[in-house]
Amino acid sequence: MTHLSVNINKIATIRNARGGNVPNVLKAAMDIERFGAQGITVHPRPDERHIRYQDVRDIAPIVTTEFNIEGYPNKSFIELVKEVKPTQVTLVPDPPDVLTSNAGWDTIRNESFLKDVIAEFHGAGIRTSIFIETDEKMIRNAAETGTDRIELYTENYATQYPIDRGKAISPFIKAATTALEVGLGINAGHDLDLNNLKYFAQNVPGLLEVSIGHALISDALYFGLENAVQLYLRELRP
């Protein structure tokens, strides 16, 4: 079964809107695990507009499943990740002012940079993943960086799914097949939701993990957090 890692950034966004500690992101992380999710994801940004660096430090000791930290590998991010030693670090090519992740790595142009960063994380015993689009050349070259996994950027799939789901999924099947050929594990994330998740998980070979935040937390407003986690887990069952 594909694992569900829940991104809790949106919970921190709500907290930050009023200040204080409501909702409590640590309690949310523990509850999400208790409700059955197999991982917790956070994406700290330099402006700390949602998850803060101190949140990452506070969450790390209480996560009992898999802790995944996403972000652009600048010096402060690298130091934070090496300090807390999560299960996985997902490298995202975000400029500081971007609203949300909106592109994958050019693994050819950035090969040397990624190699150095990944080697540093491997030296600390941390599994690595690279946020990437479905370009076969970029996926094949991702293997040259030494990364353990890729995370397929799924916004295009989500956009095209209501129009033609067969056409929407096709590039992701090809991308996953290429990744498996070169020995890479496969994660996925961005705009996956209760409408399109099952079809994606059933058709993409070798899918190990999906990271879902905005859609799941939004659904929790209607269904409650426990029910939302269970609904997403149900979509991932074979």
From CA 70, how far away is CA 181, in angstroms rounded? Answer: 25
pLDDT range class, residue 103, cuts 50, 70, 90: confident
Structural domain of 177 = 3-236
From CA 102, how far away is CA 226, in angstroms rounded? Answer: 29
Return the pLDDT at 55. Answer: 98
pLDDT digits (tens, 9 = 90+) for 35-81: 999 999 999 998 898 999 999 999 999 999 999 999 999 999 999 99
State the DSSP H helix or E strand holding residue 39, giving kind and residue range, or none if neither: strand 39-42
pLDDT range class, residue 25, cuts 50, 70, 90: very high
From CA 191, how far away is CA 215, in angstroms rounded? Answer: 7
From CA 71, how far away is CA 62, in angstroms rounded? Answer: 21
From CA 174, how far away is CA 131, in angstroms rounded? Answer: 16
From CA 171, how far away is CA 48, in angstroms rounded? Answer: 34
Return the pLDDT at 46. Answer: 86
Residue 123 sits in a domain whose CATH number is 3.20.20.70
Q: Is 207 left (phi over 0), alpha (psi -120 to 50) or beta?
A: beta
Check: CB of residue 174 under 8 Å from CB of residue 203.
no
pLDDT range class, residue 94, cuts 50, 70, 90: confident
Find all residues with CB under 8 Å of 159, minimum gap 6, and list them: 168, 191
pTM, rounded to two decimals: 0.95
Look-up of token digits 């940004």: 45
Share of residues in the chain with pLDDT > 90 (%): 93
Residues with a known catalytic role: 43, 70, 190
pLDDT range class, residue 238, cuts 50, 70, 90: confident
**Domain count of the fold of the chain:** 1
pLDDT digits (tens, 9 = 90+) for 63-72: 999 999 999 9
Residue 97 has pLDDT above 80, yes or no: no
Share of residues in the chain with pLDDT > 70 (%): 97
The amino acid sitting at 223 is: F
Question: Looking at residues 215-229, what average pLDDT do you find?
Answer: 98
Residue 95 has pLDDT above 80, yes or no: no
Residue 100 has pLDDT above 90, yes or no: no
Residue 188 has pLDDT above 80, yes or no: yes
